[in-house]
């Protein structure tokens, strides 16, 4: 009986983005000695093209590069849904507070100053990889339980989402969800929630399906929201599945079951009294 081949251990993938050949060579050697796989890009545009082919586990990003700098590169990387949970560590010779804040605001999670000490950068990679994987496991568990949860910053930028919530968010805009942020109406609603308002917001996807956006709570760093099917939309679908009626007839029937008159239903659905009676 042939021996079962031993599966290869998972190798972390580290993307290093820097325009300096010396830095790329130094980091590649140090990281590969730790057992990880290194991908390199000498500019922000090349990094953006590369991550469409391979999703890295962590990104080391030079802050100062010709053309597209590291801050803009980070913003564009973080606009890609598959990179929302990938930690970005800035490498910079700029130690002024404003540059550190700029890097963190662009989506970075940490920074190291040049010249870089190998032990320090490897330790930071290990810490952030462990945190990212713990967060990913928690979100996967929420997703398995059917929780369509996601977190945003105060400006509506999506920080993370369960896979199911991410798929729903992708269908809310008039265009594909290239920018990982709430639609304008939802951002306005969010400002009201942060000011103390209550209630849910009704949003419709590109197929006309209605969803309810709910405010769950907040921490100092993120605001937790839930996206779920509206009860009315779910009721209409159940009626259509069980009865030989059209979508509009199901809506009329649903409101009749709730005690509404034909005139009330006409006002709710934007129909004439005669049309409601016909249905």
Pick the range with the lowest mean pLDDT from 15-19, 46-50, 201-205, 235-239: 235-239
Computed over every residue of the chain, the mean pLDDT equals: 78
Q: How far apart are CA 163 and CA 81, in angstroms?
A: 10
Spacing of C-alpha 64 from chain mean position: 26
pTM surpassing 0.85?
no
So what's the pLDDT on residue 68? 93
45 — pLDDT class (breaks 50, 70, 90) = very high
Residue ranges of the alpha helices (H) in the chain?
21-33, 44-50, 70-78, 97-105, 118-144, 163-170, 184-194, 231-242, 247-257, 262-269, 273-278
202 — pLDDT class (breaks 50, 70, 90) = confident
The phi and psi torsions of 137 (rounded to 5 degrees) equal -65, -40
Residue with the larger pLDDT of the pair 20 and 10:
20
Which residue is associated with the tokens 């990387």? 77
Query: Structure tokens of 109?
Result: 């999670």
142 — pLDDT class (breaks 50, 70, 90) = very low
139 — pLDDT class (breaks 50, 70, 90) = low
**DSSP string spanning 61-128?**
EES--SSS-HHHHHHHHHTSGGGTTS-EEEEES--SHHHHHHHHHTT--EEEESSPPHHHHHHHHHHH
So what's the pLDDT on residue 238? 62
Q: What percent of the chain has pLDDT over 70?
A: 77
For the chain, which domains are there?
13-140 (3.40.50.2300), 146-229 (3.30.450.20), 232-278 (no CATH)
pLDDT in tens, 170-184: 777 534 333 467 888
Residue with the larger pLDDT of the pair 190 and 136:
190
pLDDT in tens, 215-234: 888 877 788 888 877 555 55
pLDDT in tens, 79-98: 887 787 789 999 988 767 77
Q: Does residue 1 register a pLDDT over 50?
A: no
Q: Does residue 164 register a pLDDT over 80?
A: no
So what's the pLDDT on residue 94? 74
């Amino acid at each position: 009986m042939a021996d079962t081949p031993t599966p290869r251990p998972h190798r972390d993938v580290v993307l290093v983005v820097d325009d300096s050949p010396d830095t790329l060579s130094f980091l590649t050697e140090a990281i590969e000695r730790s057992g990880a796989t290194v991908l390199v890009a000498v500019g922000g545009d090349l990094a953006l093209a590369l991550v469409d082919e391979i999703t890295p586990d962590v990104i080391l990003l030079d802050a100062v590069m010709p053309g597209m700098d590291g801050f803009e590169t980070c913003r564009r990387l973080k606009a890609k849904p598959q990179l929302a949970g990938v930690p970005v560590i800035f490498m910079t010779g700029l130690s002024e507070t404003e540059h550190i804040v700029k890097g963190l605001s662009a989506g970075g999670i940490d920074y190291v100053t040049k010249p870089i000490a190998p032990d320090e950068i490897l330790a930071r990679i290990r810490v952030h990889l462990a945190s990212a994987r713990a967060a990913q496991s928690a979100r996967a568990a929420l997703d398995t339980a059917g929780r369509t949860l996601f977190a945003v910053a105060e400006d509506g930028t999506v920080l993370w989402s369960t896979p199911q919530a991410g798929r729903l968010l992708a269908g809310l805009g008039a265009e594909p969800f290239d920018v990982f942020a709430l639609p304008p109406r939802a951002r306005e609603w969010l400002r009201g929630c942060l000011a103390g308002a209550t209630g849910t917001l009704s949003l419709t996807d590109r197929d006309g399906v209605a969803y309810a956006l709910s405010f769950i709570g907040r921490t100092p760093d993120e605001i937790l929201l839930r996206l779920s099917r509206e009860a009315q939309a779910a009721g209409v679908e159940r009626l259509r599945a069980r009865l030989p009626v059209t979508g509009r007839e199901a809506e009329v029937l649903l409101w009749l079951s709730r005690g509404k008159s034909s005139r009330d239903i006409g006002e709710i659905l934007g129909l004439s009294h005669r049309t409601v009676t016909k249905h």
